[in-house]
Structure 1
Amino acid sequence: MAGGPTETTKPAEEYRLPTGVKAKHYDLTIRTDLEKLRFDGYVVAHLDVLEETSKIVFNSSKLTLGRARLSSAALKEEVTVDATSFEIDGASERVTIQLPGALSAGTQLALKVDFEGELTGSMLGYYRCSWEDEGKTKHYALTQFEPTSARAAFPCWDEPLLKATIALTMVSRADTVNLSNMPAISEEVYAPSYKDSTDAISWLSSKFSELTTGEGEKWKVTKFQTTPPMSTYIVAFANGPFVYLEDSYTSPLSKFALDVKKKVLPLYEQVFDIEYPLPKLDTLVATDFDAAAMENWGLITGATSAYLVEPDSLDLGAKKRIAVTQSHECAHMWFGNITTMEWWDNLYLNEGFASLPTTDFFSRVFPEWKVHSAFISEMLNRALSLDAKLSSHPIEVECPDAATINQIFDSLSYAKAASVLRMLSNFIGEEKFLKGVSIYLKKHLFANSVTKDLWEGIQEASGVDVPKVMDNWVKKMGFPVITVTETKDGITVRQDRFLETGPAPPEENETLWSVPLSLLTTDENGKAKIDRSLLLDQREITIALDTSKPFKLNAGTTGVYRVLYTAERLIAIAKEAAKENSIFSLEDRIGLVYDALALARAGYLDVSAVLSLYDVFRNEKEHLVWDSVAESFGVFGSTWYEHPQIVEKLNTFRRELFVPIVARLGYDYTAGESVDVHELRTTAIVQSAHGGDEGVIEELRTRFKKAIETGEDAHIPPDLLGATYVTSVKHGGKMEYDQVKAILAKPKTPTVELAAIAALCATQNDELAEETWKYLMSKSRDQDIPVFFRNFFQNHKKRHFLVDKFREDYDQLYQRLEGNFSLQYLVNYSHAGLCSDKDWKETKAFFEGKDVSKYKLALQQSLDGIHTRSEWIKRSTSDLQKWLENRK
């Protein structure tokens, strides 16, 4: 499936609304009944007729529509259209209303529609969340509209390009709280005498005609300020018994997220020279949420794990997760909300940019986190791993339907987009890059944009022909491997498309990228110098160079490509990089580790060279290098897990590298220690436990036992919570399993909940694995199902168990999750870890005849992954075994 979702091109009129009529403003009234778990509403869409038309077409999904009324000066009288006369296309989620006659361009029209819907637990549209309070299940409701679910909450023109202002009125029971994008301007208890200047007054009266207004049935009406022009997917509202906390007091659990927001918002305003335009920016934390978080303008929403951490906690992992999420969503206030992509094919203009400032600005807010260096593992390597598949897709990708749109919220739209933008910034200089971005935003304030708009802004600031440099990076899938061949006078560098399966065949090797080479060499004093002007925009070039001195391409690992040296040169660069005060940076060392592993997986490099590289870095002090080595061990173990003798020898090598670090750093964390020491300790302990070190395993099990016996959390450092729970269940029995299961029933924090889920999936016992699966199917929240799957995937001995259970319960899982993002993750986690030709054939056969449209891309990527692992095992097992047996 080379080309992924772009393999079939559809004309835009098949999946885009007609352009002849546009909504410019909505008067929207929503009434929420949390007792009946239903909502209803009344919308007045104020329309501009741009082209002569005799019909109105808008989006609606899963709503029961009432009559429509049309009023305009061009119509002699208000026209009423009964819902039975609507032309409803369920597949495209569109409703067509035929007009009694043609309306000419320039006509202004009001469309009034009442509607109702159910508050389901789908985590899309306007949906319900639940929690237990003194044995009773209670509910609240909130929205998740991205990408195409605003239409499931009210009839609208649900496309990013079709921006409109919105004046929202919410009607709810008087003892609840209403929230929306804008601040409330009035709130009063509803009574039959209630007066309202909008057209919703008669609708309200009819809805309440049979209800009492006694003490137990009091309702209230909350009116909100009108929004700026905005796309429907960032409209947000919520209703429930919320505890809302403002300046005078903040929830201890949410204080860190609030502090991050307060720090990053002024930075965004300063750098882009554009003020945040709304009067408030709330964050609503939800117990049931499909995505990690959502950038609704003025009302960010997200899962508990994305925002909550104990006050004064030393849980650095949780703090990083929260800070990244909060700053990402805040960046969207500019990239996505103020300036919005015209269509979902340019999603990266939202997500890539929201991911990139997260890195740039974190270096100012949290310099100790070394976020520029961490970008390589958290963004760049993740992007390259996915983009190395034949089933990849371009950053800018055709999106002809909702199923495709949902599937491109992936590492290419986020991480690869951020990586190519980072590469451009490094090539032209950060100051010019940010100036160009500011120009781009200012030219499209409260409007929409496409790729060329961004290039024009950056070109204006830099003078560089940006489209020439960048177009293939966003319009073509894949990236190059740069092969370095040494000659007597220098080096020849050649670009070819990199595929994880090996050298690309001619039909897949047609793209030539403009590759910033960033060549690092030394001057006459032995000091590093970097030539950032070199641009490889043809198949190969020759560069004059003294190869007897240290050199390296892709200095700082800022380029979106892999670099292939001979094994001898790779080790020579690594040895130079491992020296004190080396000319090669931390980012260079991280890049060497990731490149070597990817190149070995694709057959360009022997596995023995990769393991020798790890040996060279044996005395490394920086956590981020060790983290890349740890991730590489995970890849080896995840590939050869059905070869126990190899796994044991790999684990012996893993223990040799990581256990001495545990001995040096110990198990106790202190508030004053460096972030690098803090994280290195965590990585070393986790890797030593994974590697089977008896001392580390016993220490973690002892701490778990003490915590259970005393009820004191202090026995387990927060960053070791997951490793402690997992190790205790993995190497324990029914007692430890039941103890963790009891913790999961009432977790104190989101971190505890995630750790408990991971532990239940780590059991090696078949009966306990069955018990975990039953819990997953019967008691877990929908949002947690992918978490269970991910952790079963990480339990190598239960991978085939996961596949079997997924296939047994496929119909139930599909029905439960088909409406949201999760289904594709289940397909990937359950199958991507398989590694034989037999697995590939069985997987292919299982999905034959099924409707795979909602997860087509994930399925093909999983199949590609199985094939890649299978071929790697065939190709490299002998070399791997030989190196492990012969090392001293």
Structure 2
Amino acid sequence: MGKGFFISKTVGIVGIVLGAGAVATIIALSVVYSQEKSRNNEVQPTTTTTTTSPTTTPTTVATAAVTTEGAVTTEAATTAPSNEPWDQWRLPHTLSPQTYNVTLWPRLQEDENKLYIFTGHSSVIFTCLEKTDLILIHSNKLNMTKDPVLTTLGSGSAPTIISHMLYPKTQYLVIKLNEELTAGESYELYTEFQGELADDLGGFYRSEYFEKDVKKVVATTQMQPTDARKAFPCFDEPAMKAVFHITLLHDPGTTALSNGVVIDEVEVTMDDTALIKTTFAPTEKMSTYLLAFIVSEFISIEENIDGLQIRIFARNEAINSGQGDYALNTTGPILKFFERYYNVSYPLPKSDQIALPDFNAGAMENWGLITYRETALLYDKDISSNGNKERVVTVIAHELAHQWFGNLVTIKWWNDLWLNEGFASYVEYLGAHEAEPDWNIKDLIVLNDVHRVFAIDALASSHPLSSKEEDVQRPEQISEVFDAISYSKGASVLRMLSFFLTEKLFTRGLQTYLDHFKFNNTVYTDLWDHLQMAVNETETDLPKSVRDIMDRWVLQMGFPVVTIDTATGQISQEHFLLDPTTKPEPSDFNYEWYVPISWKKPDAQKPIYWLLQKNAEFEDMKTNTDEWVLANIDVNGYYRVNYDNANWERLLNVLKTSRTSIPVLNRAQLIDDAFNLAKAGIVPTTLALRTTLFLSGETEYIPWESALKNLDYFYLMFDRSDVYGLMQDYVKTQVTPLFEHFTKLTSWENVPNGHTDQYNQVNALRVACSTGLEDCKTLVKNWFEKWMENPTVNPIHANLRSTVYCNAIATGGAKEWDFAWDMFDKATVAAEKDKLRAALACATQPWLLNRYLGYTLDPSKIRKQDATSTITTIAGNVVGQSLAWDFVRANWEYIFNQFSTEFELKQLMQFRDDFAHIGFGSGTLAIQQSIERTQANINWVDQNKEQIAEWFKNPV
């Protein structure tokens, strides 16, 4: 799944409106988004449409009524015993599904109750592995419209169903039999059901959009991780692979899609309604979470590469305006690259990709039918920015990588999610590089993943990549593992593994792994075994086995800071914690790692040195007064580096006098390491600030971006103090040469050719304007005024629009804000809508921001999928901070990054205590990390404010 998922579900919040015209309320904390909110109000097990109760029943059940559709309403509930089989979160190892036949009919019009529904019937053929008189199959928010029917595929008759019940707590349909199923025999379970085609972005749901002022409805799916059970009863665990036969009934004029190719399409009549019945070819053996079926009025473009059909689906207007062309042109080359990389042919006859107006994740790798947010698949060459283009190609590469790694070979359980998502997050850069070889995009993993996740993994409340299986059971626990650790740390350590093995050995082991386990399930150590086989077949010299090395990176949280003393050659490692006073959970490895240290001196790069214990001595790392040592070349290792003071001084001098002697990624690394070492109290804060002095002569994007991200922390900590003005003056001095560089290079009428140069042009404009450079402010003001004078012609280059919009709205008033809102409302390109939506949060008038916060509760103004990020953006505005906090005590991105006062810490802790009786589900870790970060911020400000102010007065 695309990276947007863990952002929306780990730090997400969802607004709900209680009654027409009533007060709007946003449920607190990331976990309490719409799907999980219902789990806090679960009904207890109750018997439905059955003749007798199960022979073993809870001692107390809810008083319930069953409607004509079979829905259960609860008047009272008490806690059921936990020793019943249906009270366990994992399926028993008694039944194994083989094939499903699923027919669904989604209604794209409201019924008499103003609901969108779907009806369906499903049969699953399963084999009994161990004799049992109980069938447990997942079913969530489905009403059984007829009693289930069990038949046998062997000789004799099947046991009789004596009762069945829906058990919402663990999301089971519980079927009790009069006698045991026979081990080794196969049976077929048939169910008929009805569900709501809700707008909750999970399971089988609906998405809405307008075309020529006419509302259109799309029936679509998002099954990962545990929502296939909302579409039909199924054994909804990743190891329960089966073959799926899907049939969709849908209105004439609509198109039906699923994982397989269409094998039949006929006109039928159901309930006096003329319909199209579309039957799809059976899938390969696959997991339920990878299923997809969609009914829409979308159109497509396509091409055929070596017999493989590639199609891009989207709204008619988007396709007709060419927004799908870039995705179509890049998909083929990326697919072919992964075929070579994996040494496995693409396992399906078609590759469909579809852009949805409403989609909670960034994208989802459904096998053969990948779903995307519009911003992750559609690109308009005249309106979308360079960043939008990169997002499209990297997300496509991420999801296509999953077609093999994740779909063909699948993790057995969600505790190993990091392997699935971390791998795709690593190789997405390789796939994107294949499509755009001139971008040098592989370097950006350092900014986007390594540095990003360092900030989280440096907390004592971080967690290991791989959890124990028993610790990831409930749906909210499963959702919690979709976080930056799984995605970005997973990518970072796999990149490190590929580095010290070499890419050739890494891919060799990967290829045998995929071939051996295709159509099956694995645990992460299976990959280590195959990589070790590749090592054993060569003369590669590893100091330990692959498993021994990697277990220390996978089974314990955090990472080391490696300290090098160039006077003695001593090297040491220590668990790096942002707040060294915090105490992490004990580790079986005592927070020691096997660290591959790549390093160089001025004359040459040196061989890898392995640090295998706390301390070691390496004679070659001693230097004379003219030499410097630089470690972790190109940031291939997942660790930070500290040096003795003399070596720091030599490196600072090199940055100032001959910065190109240091690789561009390491210039960024020196900044990021120094700032974070300073936060932890390991080096002086003034040393970190001195790493930015060379920027006045730097034109490369990656070092600049590293510095700006780190300086953002200072802005957040000091935005309400006198340090702020001093800092603004310094940053303006540093950025003015960069602004003048792009003025000479482009006259601000064009963009530079280089991919990252285009990003740095944006940085130059953004920072120059935000620090008050008059030439920049005049430029931006004139552009925006010209657009307001003629709204049909936007004179602002797509790359620069986000910056221009934000600055114009920040310095303007209601007139500018209302114009931008009108442009947002009329925009038909999702990327442009996103730019305007973010810029509207830049307003400096509190009443405008309060109005905007209110809009997040109205899906007709701000889509549900965008509510979280909109509130987060408002909270990132100094003026909007208190407004957002008052509006909802659950903006976790804001909490995580910006709380720095004792009062705010007390508010947060009080909030935690107030809602402790409800629980925080998958938000538990987020709030714990927020409190830890807040305390660290408080301590840091207290200790550093005075010296920082003095340094900015006289930066040396």
What TM-score, normalized by structure 1, do the two folds share? 0.90
Query: One-letter code of the match for 2:94?
Result: G
**Residues 92-171 of structure 1 mapped to structure 2, 5 A cutoff:** 92-171=170-249
Residues 515 and 182 of structure 1: is their aligned pair in 2 closer, same or farther, counting only changes over 3 Å? same
Residues 75 and 33 of structure 1: is their aligned pair in 2 closer, same or farther, counting only changes over 3 Å? farther
Query: One-letter code of the match for 1:400?
Result: Q
**Residues 364-763 of structure 1 mapped to structure 2, 5 A cutoff:** 364-397=434-467, 398-463=471-536, 464=542, 465-487=545-567, 490-502=568-580, 510-522=590-602, 526=603, 528-532=604-608, 534-544=609-619, 545-548=621-624, 549-577=627-655, 580=658, 582-643=660-721, 645-666=722-743, 668=748, 670=750, 673-763=753-843
Aligned residue for 1:836? Answer: 901
Aligned residue for 1:57? Answer: 136
| Counterpart selection for 2:847 from 748, 751, 767 | 767
Distance 1:713 1:560 in 2: 47
Deviation track 1:609-637 (CA, whole Å, cap 9, x = no partner) reads 11111003431221111111121221211
Deviation track 1:764-819 (CA, whole Å, cap 9, x = no partner) reads 11111111111112231110112212211321232121111013xx7xxxxxxxxx
User: Which stretch shows the higher mean deviation, 402-411 or 140-149?
Assistant: 402-411
Identity of aligned residues (%): 28
Paired residues of 2:219 and 2:294 also in contact (CA < 8 A)? yes
| Counterpart selection for 1:177 from 246, 255, 259 | 255
Distance 1:103 1:112 in 2: 16
Aligned residue for 1:818? Answer: none
Aligned residue for 2:125? Answer: 46
Deviation track 1:348-399 (CA, whole Å, cap 9, x = no partner) reads 1210111111123333432332223211111101111111112211111241
Q: Report how many residues are paired.
A: 832
Residues 871 and 885 of structure 1: is their aligned pair in 2 closer, same or farther, counting only changes over 3 Å? same
Q: Helix, strand or coil: the match of 1:518?
A: strand
Distance 1:279 1:885 in 2: 65
Paired residues of 1:496 and 1:504 also in contact (CA < 8 A)? no
Aligned residue for 2:878? Answer: 796
Aligned residue for 2:100? Answer: 26
Q: Helix, strand or coil: the match of 2:466?
A: coil
The Cα shift of 1:577 comes to 4.7
Paired residues of 2:160 and 2:179 also in contact (CA < 8 A)? no
The Cα shift of 1:247 comes to 3.1
The Cα shift of 1:314 comes to 6.9
User: Which stretch shows the higher mean deviation, 118-127 or 618-627?
Assistant: 618-627
The Cα shift of 1:671 comes to 6.7
Structure 1: give runs of 5+ residues left out of the alignment.
192-207, 811-825
**Residues 61-72 of structure 1 mapped to structure 2, 5 A cutoff:** 61-65=140-144, 66-72=146-152
User: In angstroms, what is the RMSD of aligned CA positions?
Assistant: 2.2
Q: Helix, strand or coil: the match of 2:630?
A: coil
Deviation track 1:457-511 (CA, whole Å, cap 9, x = no partner) reads 1111123410111001111111111122343xx3211111111113665975822
Q: Helix, strand or coil: the match of 1:245?
A: strand
Distance 1:494 1:316 in 2: 42
| Counterpart selection for 1:872 from 940, 950, 953 | 940
Distance 2:661 2:549 in 1: 28
Deviation track 1:91-130 (CA, whole Å, cap 9, x = no partner) reads 2112221122112210101011111100110000000011
Paired residues of 2:324 and 2:379 also in contact (CA < 8 A)? yes
Query: One-letter code of the match for 2:882?
Result: H
Aligned residue for 1:322? Answer: 392
Paired residues of 2:696 and 2:737 also in contact (CA < 8 A)? no
Residues 563 and 581 of structure 1: is their aligned pair in 2 closer, same or farther, counting only changes over 3 Å? closer
Distance 1:327 1:506 in 2: 36
Q: Helix, strand or coil: the match of 2:224?
A: coil
The Cα shift of 1:283 comes to 0.7
What TM-score, normalized by structure 2, do the two folds share? 0.84
Residues 584 and 424 of structure 1: is their aligned pair in 2 closer, same or farther, counting only changes over 3 Å? same
Paired residues of 2:439 and 2:754 also in contact (CA < 8 A)? no
Distance 1:720 1:506 in 2: 43
Distance 1:170 1:721 in 2: 43
Residues 754 and 466 of structure 1: is their aligned pair in 2 closer, same or farther, counting only changes over 3 Å? same
**Residues 84-99 of structure 1 mapped to structure 2, 5 A cutoff:** 85-99=163-177
The Cα shift of 1:336 comes to 0.7
Distance 1:137 1:676 in 2: 40
Deviation track 1:11-34 (CA, whole Å, cap 9, x = no partner) reads 999321111101111011111111
Distance 2:333 2:649 in 1: 42
The Cα shift of 1:76 comes to 4.3
Structure 2: give runs of 5+ residues left out of the alignment.
1-29, 32-81, 111-115, 305-310, 313-318, 537-541
User: Which stretch shows the higher mean deviation, 333-342 or 844-853?
Assistant: 844-853
Distance 2:438 2:872 in 1: 30
Paired residues of 2:784 and 2:804 also in contact (CA < 8 A)? yes
Query: One-letter code of the match for 1:693?
Result: L
Distance 2:731 2:659 in 1: 26
Deviation track 1:676-725 (CA, whole Å, cap 9, x = no partner) reads 43222111111112223232122112101101212254411111111111
Residues 162 and 739 of structure 1: is their aligned pair in 2 closer, same or farther, counting only changes over 3 Å? same
Distance 2:209 2:501 in 1: 51
Paired residues of 1:160 and 1:231 also in contact (CA < 8 A)? yes
Deviation track 1:141-174 (CA, whole Å, cap 9, x = no partner) reads 1000111100011100101111001010111112
Paired residues of 2:698 and 2:738 also in contact (CA < 8 A)? no
Paired residues of 1:499 and 1:602 also in contact (CA < 8 A)? yes
The Cα shift of 1:137 comes to 2.5
Paired residues of 1:803 and 1:831 also in contact (CA < 8 A)? no
Q: Helix, strand or coil: the match of 2:857?
A: helix
Residues 79 and 173 of structure 1: is their aligned pair in 2 closer, same or farther, counting only changes over 3 Å? farther
Distance 2:160 2:853 in 1: 53
User: Is 1:783 aligned with 2:865?
Assistant: yes
User: Is 1:853 aligned with 2:927?
Assistant: no
Paired residues of 1:828 and 1:859 also in contact (CA < 8 A)? no
Distance 2:257 2:867 in 1: 28
Deviation track 1:210-265 (CA, whole Å, cap 9, x = no partner) reads x22xxxx4201100000011010010000121212323997310111222211111
Paired residues of 1:793 and 1:830 also in contact (CA < 8 A)? no
Q: Helix, strand or coil: the match of 2:852?
A: helix
Q: Helix, strand or coil: the match of 2:570?
A: strand
Query: One-letter code of the match for 1:786?
Result: T
Q: Helix, strand or coil: the match of 1:347?
A: helix
Paired residues of 2:856 and 2:871 also in contact (CA < 8 A)? no
Paired residues of 2:164 and 2:173 also in contact (CA < 8 A)? yes
Residues 581 and 834 of structure 1: is their aligned pair in 2 closer, same or farther, counting only changes over 3 Å? closer
Query: One-letter code of the match for 1:354?
Result: A
Paired residues of 1:799 and 1:834 also in contact (CA < 8 A)? no
The Cα shift of 1:294 comes to 0.6
Residues 14 and 495 of structure 1: is their aligned pair in 2 closer, same or farther, counting only changes over 3 Å? farther
Paired residues of 1:389 and 1:864 also in contact (CA < 8 A)? yes
Distance 2:900 2:266 in 1: 63
Aligned residue for 2:78? Answer: none
Distance 1:672 1:557 in 2: 27
Distance 2:217 2:405 in 1: 33
